[in-house]
Chains A and B, each alone.
Chain A
Amino acid sequence: MELIEKLKTEIISALNLEDIKPEDIDPAAPLFGSGLNLDSVDALELIVILEKNYGIKLVNAEEGKQIFYSLNSMAEYIKKHSSHA
């Protein structure tokens, strides 16, 4: 999926994951707690990606928990809500 590949590059860049290659990221795997082991600050960075690149503004950080469960869930959300995905 093009969007998934685009998201992988954006996340690697925004979160400074310089040792991770796009093919290393499993789109279905949880982003937090295991795998990439992202934390609450990374979640805020993902919120910036949503707003800056896809025009979706979240009102509070709590909303991010479900949206960012995995790359797949993030892509689904963007497809539903973005004006310019």
Chain B
Amino acid sequence: MHYINGIGSIGPQEFSGGKYRLSPTAPEFFQARPIDYKTWINPLVLRKFSRIVKMGTVAALMCLKDGGIEKPGAIITGTALGCLENTEGLLKQIFENGEKFLNPTLFISSTHNAIAAHIAIHTACRGYNCTYSQRAISFESALLDGMLQITEKKENNILIGGIDEIIPALLPVLKNLGLQKKKSSSTRGSNWGEGAVFINLSAQKNEHTYAQLAGLRIVSRNCRPDDIVRGMLKSAGLDQNKMLLLTGVNKDRENDKFCHKLAEDFPGSAHARYKHLCGEYFTAASFALSLAASMLKNGIQAESLLRPGPDPDSIMIYNQSRNIHSFILIRKAT
């Protein structure tokens, strides 16, 4: 069994007291709400952290606190673009200074695994530590690894996180790649976001449990999403009419076709979305999972609903990016 026993979330939406206080907005891009990081980490230690490392480390600490534990058993992160601020900073120095007078701190904290490493140092965790960077399935890869850890070792308190940041230089590039809307009326592209969300995955249920992870599929080829959903529900012994579909609708016409088609294939299920709350980014599925888990425990929040339905026993999170599809199924904890 795989239980979600804690959540820590830093992003455009406020997560506190085990719930999201959702305030949907419609900005050009979504920025994480400011946090007073000094209340979590000693300033003398914090000074070396880039913004994404602060976000990731503190979200992890929030997750630990939410789950009532101090030290994780393992730390697995997913980040598609990594530490952009430091990477950009070092590249700028390389060209502006002619490869001289470079700040080593920028290099050290530019590696994708810097977040996972800092969390390990901060919590003195010597357990398994890994980082995945595979675009829109970076978080799902980390989740897969986490689930394997539990199956193999019955490990508890595995911190699994999805983290990605926006820097000013990123948006023009995303616009040119057709990922960020050039104009709000455009059918191509979405509104980019950022966030750091961690969950605590454990083999045992406890008083902090939000939900149970019931399945994960990542499919890299053309597929029939509806067939996959039916297969996953069947394996988990779940009824599609008591399922809520939480899809990656993001205002990009091509992407949204997949999401709405899936909702049509399951007319008896409620349909909800999440990217209008956190923005589109490669590890947004981490936000989706935290929202879904919180809603299964506390009740469905109307701000996410596109089509209402019966009170669900399970939530199927669906996302696709360039024909790579991911499906995360969670259910009420048994």
Partner of A41, one of B43, B101, B108: B108
Interface residues of A in 25-67 (CB under 8 A from B): 36-37, 41, 44-45, 48, 51-52
How many chain B residues have a CB neighbour from A under 8 Å?
11
Docked-complex contact B43 and A44, CB < 8 angstroms: no
Q: Is B302 interfacial (CB 8 A cutoff)?
A: no
Cα of A45 to Cα of B93 in the assembled complex, Å: 14
Q: Which residue of A has the minimal Cβ distance to B47?
A: A16
Residues in B neighbouring A17, C-beta threshold 8 A: 44, 47
Per-position contact with B for A1-34: 1 when CB-CB < 8 Å, else 0? 0000000000000111111000000000000000
Cα of A6 to Cα of B197 in the assembled complex, Å: 42
Shortest CB-to-CB span from B44 to chain A, Å, is 6
How many chain A residues have a CB neighbour from B under 8 Å?
14
Docked-complex contact A45 and B103, CB < 8 angstroms: yes
Cα of A17 to Cα of B105 in the assembled complex, Å: 14
Shortest CB-to-CB span from B97 to chain A, Å, is 8
Residues in A neighbouring B108, C-beta threshold 8 A: 41
Residues in B neighbouring A14, C-beta threshold 8 A: 103
Cα of A44 to Cα of B102 in the assembled complex, Å: 10
Shortest CB-to-CB span from B54 to chain A, Å, is 12
Q: Which residue of B has the minimal Cβ distance to A47?
A: B104
Per-position contact with A for B193-211: 1 when CB-CB < 8 Å, else 0? 0000000000000000000
Residues in A neighbouring B47, C-beta threshold 8 A: 15-18
Docked-complex contact A51 and B100, CB < 8 angstroms: yes
Residues in A neighbouring B260, C-beta threshold 8 A: none
Partner of A48, one of B43, B44, B48, B102: B102
Cα of A41 to Cα of B109 in the assembled complex, Å: 11
Q: Which residue of B has the minimal Cβ distance to A38?
A: B44
Residues in A neighbouring B44, C-beta threshold 8 A: 17, 36-37
Residues in B neighbouring A36, C-beta threshold 8 A: 44
Cα of A16 to Cα of B89 in the assembled complex, Å: 15
Docked-complex contact A41 and B100, CB < 8 angstroms: no
Which of A14, A17, A18, A48 counts the most B-chain CB atoms under 10 A from its CB?
Answer: A48
Per-position contact with A for B41-69: 1 when CB-CB < 8 Å, else 0? 00110011000000000000000000000
Docked-complex contact B43 and A45, CB < 8 angstroms: no
Cα of A44 to Cα of B108 in the assembled complex, Å: 12
Shortest CB-to-CB span from B88 to chain A, Å, is 17
Cα of A14 to Cα of B101 in the assembled complex, Å: 12
Shortest CB-to-CB span from A56 to chain B, Å, is 12
Cα of A19 to Cα of B43 in the assembled complex, Å: 7
Q: Which residue of B has the minimal Cβ distance to A18?
A: B47
Shortest CB-to-CB span from B316 to chain A, Å, is 44
Q: Which residue of B has the minimal Cβ distance to A36?
A: B44
Cα of A78 to Cα of B163 in the assembled complex, Å: 43
Shortest CB-to-CB span from B159 to chain A, Å, is 25
Cα of A45 to Cα of B101 in the assembled complex, Å: 9
Shortest CB-to-CB span from B130 to chain A, Å, is 24
Residue pairs across A and B with Cβ atoms less than 8 A apart, 22 shown, are A14-B103, A15-B47, A16-B47, A16-B48, A17-B44, A17-B47, A18-B43, A18-B47, A19-B43, A36-B44, A41-B48, A41-B104, A41-B105, A41-B108, A45-B103, A45-B104, A45-B105, A48-B103, A48-B104, A51-B100, A51-B101, A52-B101
Which 8 pairs from chain A and chain B are nearest by CB? A16-B47, A52-B101, A44-B104, A19-B43, A48-B101, A41-B104, A41-B105, A17-B47
Interface residues of B (CB under 8 A from A): 43-44, 47-48, 100-105, 108
Other than the known A18-B47, A41-B108, A52-B100, what 10 A-B pairs have Cβ atoms closer than 8 Å? A15-B47, A16-B48, A17-B47, A37-B44, A41-B48, A41-B104, A44-B104, A45-B103, A48-B101, A51-B100
